[in-house]
Amino acid sequence: MKELLTLFLTFARIGGMTFGGGYAMLPMLQRDIVEKHHWATEEELMDYYAIGQCTPGIIAVNTATFIGHKQRGLIGALFATFGIVFPSWVIIMIIATFISNFTDLAIVQNAFAGIQVCVCVLILNAVLRLFKKSAVDAVTGLLFAAISLLSVFTNLSPVLFVIFAGLFGILVRCLGRKNVK
């Protein structure tokens, strides 16, 4: 029961203290899940995150579900998922009750503008950390550049990028094995 409570509280803290969605949560997920609790490796977290991005639903919820399931099966998945969602649910209920009274205030608009800048920096930090772990050679660096350009200059679905990258990785790995033999 203690581990289930730890799963819930860890994800509740991440869910309640991260603004900007799944991408902004990545630094906290890396610190808490990989470094503090050792529930996943960097590579596993990136895999969960990639799968969470290309499956229906919210990236953070999907990632929490994967990690909870890895730790304690179905019950762990439920506790982690409920933990990540609970703070947002409470905050949204409170905001929904009062938001119409404050949206026109300049101080609220300025606060949201500042939060948006902060979220962009957090996302950039997460991207740089992932880049350092993922683009480890010329081939993966080239793949990173190609998908980056395609994502900026096309309207293709991120699911297609993930599928393409996965197939590309399989192809490169298979060709690499053939060259070794």
Tens digit of each residue's pLDDT, the chain (181 residues): 999 999 999 999 998 887 766 677 788 888 999 999 999 998 898 888 888 877 777 888 888 999 999 999 999 999 999 999 999 899 889 888 887 788 888 998 898 899 889 888 888 888 888 888 888 888 889 999 999 999 999 999 888 898 899 899 899 888 876 654 5
Structure confidence at residue 178 (pLDDT): 62
The pLDDT, as a whole number, for residue 76 is 96
Look up residue 65 and give its two tokens: 């579900």
Give residue for tokens 């996965």: 166
pLDDT at 173: 83
Chain centroid offset of residue 25 CA: 6
pLDDT for the residue numbered 26: 80
| pLDDT at position 21 | 67
Predicted TM-score (pTM) of the model is: 0.60
pLDDT at site 82: 96
pLDDT at 175: 82
DSSP string, 48-78: HHHHHHHSSS-HHHHHHHHHHHHHHHHHHHH
pLDDT at position 80 is 96
Nearest alpha-carbon partner for 169 in 149, 146, 140, 147:
140
